[in-house]
């Protein structure tokens, strides 16, 4: 069982115990907040696919992937794809993908989307929670696993064009060679904003083998909930609501971490300043603990 000890606002330390050894590693929450702040800043102009702001965010991510210790995925951090929008226009998107080689070549892909809605009239939709929060967390996890080699090879994918129909995820999930080595997808989309200190782990209805692992994760001040994946439930079904959907369609097991919709969802008020930093740091640590647990299986 993994234990999370929160020493906020400085560093979050995770104590990882096993039968033979115990080690202490750290999650740099100062850098996490810096990354969130830049990715969701006015400078990136809402990060809409194909815009200058999207390019600025992408170049920042490439620099941070490399700085944090990721290796280019198949020789490059940037992976282009194209798709048609609802008007029949051809749109180009660019995913940012890196990896950390594990002790085996079996893979877990950890995903978030860096695009958002862009600008509308004079308003910038900065998408701090949706999904700069998941994207900044990817960077923190790259930093962690570059210092602590995982058992599986971990692929970190920051997808473009999620807001246009999960297009970046569809591009990677169509790669049959990649899928052959893939054991699961862990997707992060909106992990920073909830006034009840609740976050959902979605997918255990489809993949019940994951639930015992998640139930063993200890948290401080957060409630890890299950649901939003049963079509017979009163809760909205999120099975295809984000980038885990295309992987599920290909038969890849997934767990999706996310919060319920809130007052800032898809509004121009989804800004860095509205993010409750305690919740965000704690949820990022919780998800890291889950990744560690799944990697040890």
Query: What is d(CA 238, CA 101) in angstroms, rounded to the nearest whole number?
Result: 31
Could you tell me how many helices (H) and strands (E) the chain has, helices first? 8, 14
Please state which of the ranges 44-48, 152-156, 221-225 shows the lowest mean pLDDT. 221-225
Average pLDDT over every residue of 86-109: 96
Please state which of the ranges 24-33, 68-77, 195-204 shows the lowest mean pLDDT. 24-33
- The residue assigned the tokens 């980038």 is 243
Average pLDDT over every residue of 124-139: 98
In tens, the pLDDT along 228-250 reads 999 999 999 999 999 999 999 99
Average pLDDT over every residue of 59-76: 98
Confidence at 1, pLDDT banded by 50, 70, 90 = very low
Identify which has the larger pLDDT, 149 or 218. 149
Indicate if the pLDDT at residue 73 is higher than 60: yes
Average pLDDT, the chain: 92
Query: What is d(CA 67, CA 74) in angstroms, rounded to the nearest whole number?
Result: 18
Burial 190-226 (b: 16+ CB within 10 A, else e): bbbbbeebebbbbbbbeeeebeebbeebebeebebeb
Indicate if the pLDDT at residue 256 is higher than 60: yes
* CATH dotted code for 3-295: 3.40.630.10
Please provide the distance, in angstroms rounded to a whole number, between the alpha carbons at the two ends of the chain: 13
Q: What are the beta bridge partners of residue 109?
A: 155, 185
pLDDT at 25: 59
In tens, the pLDDT along 103-131 reads 999 999 999 999 999 999 999 999 999 99
Query: What is d(CA 247, CA 154) in angstroms, rounded to the nearest whole number?
Result: 16
Q: Which of 187, 68, 77, 93 is nearest to 135 (CA)?
A: 187
Average pLDDT over every residue of 274-284: 97
């Amino acid at each position: 069982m993994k234990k999370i000890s929160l020493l906020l606002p400085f560093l979050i330390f995770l104590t990882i115990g096993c039968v033979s050894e115990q080690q202490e590693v750290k999650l740099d929450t100062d850098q996490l907040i810096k990354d969130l702040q830049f990715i969701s800043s006015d400078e990136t102009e809402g990060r809409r696919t194909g815009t200058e702001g999207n390019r600025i965010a992408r170049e920042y991510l490439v620099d941070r992937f490399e700085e944090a210790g990721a290796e280019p995925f198949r020789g490059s951090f940037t992976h282009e794809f194209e798709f048609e929008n609802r008007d029949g226009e051809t749109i180009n998107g660019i995913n940012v993908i890196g990896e950390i080689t594990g002790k085996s070549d079996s893979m877990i892909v950890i995903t978030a989307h860096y695009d958002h809605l862009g600008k509308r009239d004079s308003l910038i939709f900065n998408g701090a929670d949706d999904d700069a929060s998941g994207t900044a967390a990817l960077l923190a996890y790259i930093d962690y696993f570059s210092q602590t080699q995982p058992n599986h090879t971990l692929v970190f994918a920051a997808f473009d064009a999620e807001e246009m129909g999960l297009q970046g995820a569809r591009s990677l999930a169509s790669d049959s060679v990649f899928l052959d080595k893939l054991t699961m997808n862990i997707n992060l989309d909106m992990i920073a904003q909830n006034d009840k200190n609740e976050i959902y782990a979605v997918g255990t209805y489809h993949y019940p083998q994951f639930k015992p692992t998640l139930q063993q994760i200890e948290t401080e001040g957060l409630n890890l909930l299950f649901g939003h994946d049963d079509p017979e439930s009163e809760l909205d079904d999120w099975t295809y609501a984000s980038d885990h959907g295309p992987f599920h369609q290909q038969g890849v097991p997934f767990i999706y971490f996310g919060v319920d919709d809130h007052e800032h969802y898809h509004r121009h008020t989804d800004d860095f300043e509205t993010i409750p930093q305690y919740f965000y740091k704690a949820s990022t640590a919780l998800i890291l603990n889950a990744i560690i647990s799944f990697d040890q299986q």
